[in-house]
């Protein structure tokens, strides 16, 4: 149930490594239809005192077509390793044409991903979060749902109010999306100790944990959507808590940065012990049927 969150392998360069390290799946991207450099450096900051990161990468990537070639090559190796593809718009594409970018990237990458995530919640592309609002999101989902029969998910910001989150859920259900990835990085700065705390960008890691859990609890009663929880995952207890709260899958990024290459296997071993302690033989026992 433990996967690598989007942002680590933006261009699908290290797919075999994530499999070898013990991840159950990986999500590549964010990928845009055209290559772009992203924001000026420095753009990634390690807040050691807070066990956190701040990034303002800005969707730096080599473009959908180059990633598609790498994904195709990986598929030809025959490894059974589920791959998600996180999609975004180019920085210079106006909001009113954003759906075209998502659609174009999806068309190029569709043969090679097992599921696709619409990233409308990164704080590092100007105006992007506007796409989470009703009219924009309604149009985006209406256009993209027919473009693939594979699972399509929406990635939401932790900074949304519950009212706005509920509206996004309604639109996902209306258009037949399969799930939600909750949550992206936050613009909030909750009681940080690091001198880098004032850097602009999205905050991830331990300070995001509380809000990620609040959002998951709020969404846990939703019928018809698979929940993927991400934000502040640091160990097996975090994964176990989220699975019991209703997440089908859990993703990690910052916890992996701090935990090192053995992190996935260490977490999975710990998860097995927690399951045994509570008499759970299979994670399917936790699953609420998705009606």
Burial of 84 per CB tally in 10 Å (0-12, 13-18, 19+): buried
Per the CB < 8 A criterion, the answer to whether 254 and 235 are in contact is no
Phi, psi of 289 (to 5 degrees): -55, 135
Half-sphere exposure of 163 (CA within 13 A, CB side): 0
End-to-end CA distance of the chain: 21
Per the CB < 8 A criterion, the answer to whether 228 and 209 are in contact is no
Residue with tokens 């090192």: 260
Q: Which of 122, 194, 204, 229 is catalytic?
A: 122
- The first and second tokens of residue 12, run together, are 């699908």
Sign of torsion over alpha carbons 132, 181, 261, 239: positive
- The first and second tokens of residue 81, run together, are 């390793």
- Residue 122 annotated in active site: yes
Residues forming the active site: 122
């Amino acid at each position: 149930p433990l996967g690598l969150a989007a942002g680590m392998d933006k261009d699908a360069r290290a797919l075999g490594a994530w499999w070898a390290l013990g991840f159950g799946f990986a999500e590549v991207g964010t990928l845009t239809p055209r290559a772009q450099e992203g924001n000026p450096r420095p753009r990634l900051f390690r807040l050691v005192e807070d066990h956190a990161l701040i990034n303002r990468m800005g969707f730096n990537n080599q473009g959908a077509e180059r990633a598609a070639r790498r994904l195709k090559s990986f598929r030809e190796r025959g490894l059974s390793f589920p791959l998600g593809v996180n999609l975004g718009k180019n920085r210079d594409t106006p909001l009113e044409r954003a759906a075209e970018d998502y659609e174009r990237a999806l068309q190029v990458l569709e043969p090679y991903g097992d599921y696709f995530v619409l990233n409308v919640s990164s704080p590092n592309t100007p105006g992007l979060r506007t796409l989470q609002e009703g009219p924009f999101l309604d149009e985006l989902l209406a256009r993209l749902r027919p473009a693939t029969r594979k699972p399509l998910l929406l990635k939401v910001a932790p900074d949304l109010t519950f009212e706005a989150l509920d509206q996004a859920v309604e639109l996902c259900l209306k258009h037949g999306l399969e799930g939600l990835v909750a949550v992206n990085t936050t613009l909030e700065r909750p009681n940080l100790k690091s001198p880098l705390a004032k850097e602009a960008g999205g905050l991830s890691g331990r300070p995001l944990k509380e809000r990620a859990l609040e959002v998951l609890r709020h969404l846990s009663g939703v019928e018809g959507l698979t929940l993927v929880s991400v934000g502040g995952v640091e160990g097996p207890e975090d994964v176990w808590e989220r699975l019991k709260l209703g997440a089908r899958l859990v993703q990690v990024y910052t916890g992996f940065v701090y935990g090192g290459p053995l992190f996935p296997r260490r977490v999975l071993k710990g998860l097995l012990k927690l399951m045994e302690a509570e008499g759970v033989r299979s994670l399917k026992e936790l699953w609420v049927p998705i009606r």
